[in-house]
Amino acid sequence: MKRLMLVGATGLVGSHVLQQALAHPGVTEVVAPTRKPLTPQPRLVNPLVDFERLPHDADWWQVDAVVCTLGTTIRKAGSQAAFYKVDHDHPVEVAYLARRHGARAYALNSALGADANSRIFYTRTKGETERDLQAVGYSSLTLVRPGLIAGNRQESRPAEQLAVKLSRLVQPLLPRRYRVVPAERIAYHLLHAALVATPGVHVLPSDALL
């Protein structure tokens, strides 16, 4: 029985993790810090936070494992610097704070092609996040790298939605690593990794999520 922290609970993948975690018999409580309140549910602790000013000594940091699904787009963030804060700085700070309070497992929703040496800003950011998380000291770290994600987002991402539709049309012809991955499948693997907490650093490529 584990106490789980979920950051990014309002996003597409995060909302599925929240649903699955609250229904999981091995989860005693889900701590989901958010900027806006979630719908109250049994076993859900929902501290309201500003991710720019996270409290360092709150009792709710005391969890066994963390699932991070934080992520945005440069268009929504407004700049590369703002994007970097959401996709790199916040996940790494959460990792340090939860680890300091005893968390032993961390599972990140990263991205296909994540590479700290990439010339592409997006994949380089994801790669730097993965690299810096490995320095935090978790006994179990899982990096999940989906490609295109299928699901009903609350926010509009027209380019992504078009790419998903086109990919589905040619799905049988695509290599497995480039196929569309349902959000609930990503959520399942993130939750499973956090709860099982297999020692070491584990990378789950997109084709493994299908």
Contacts of 154 (CB under 8 A, 6+ apart): 10, 12
**Is 178 one of the annotated active-site residues of the chain?**
no
Of 122, 138, 165, 178, which one is the catalytic site residue? 122
- Residues 178-199 as b or e (16 or more Cβ within 10 Å = b): ebbbbbbbbbebbbebbbebee
**Is 126 one of the annotated active-site residues of the chain?**
yes
Of 126, 138, 165, 188, which one is the catalytic site residue? 126
Strand order in the sheet with 200-205: 44-45, 27-31, 2-7, 65-68, 105-109, 140-145, 200-205
- Whether the Cβ atoms of residue 210 and residue 176 lie closer than 8 Å to each other: yes
CA distance 84 to 71: 9
Give the residue numbers annotated as catalytic, written as ranges. 122, 126
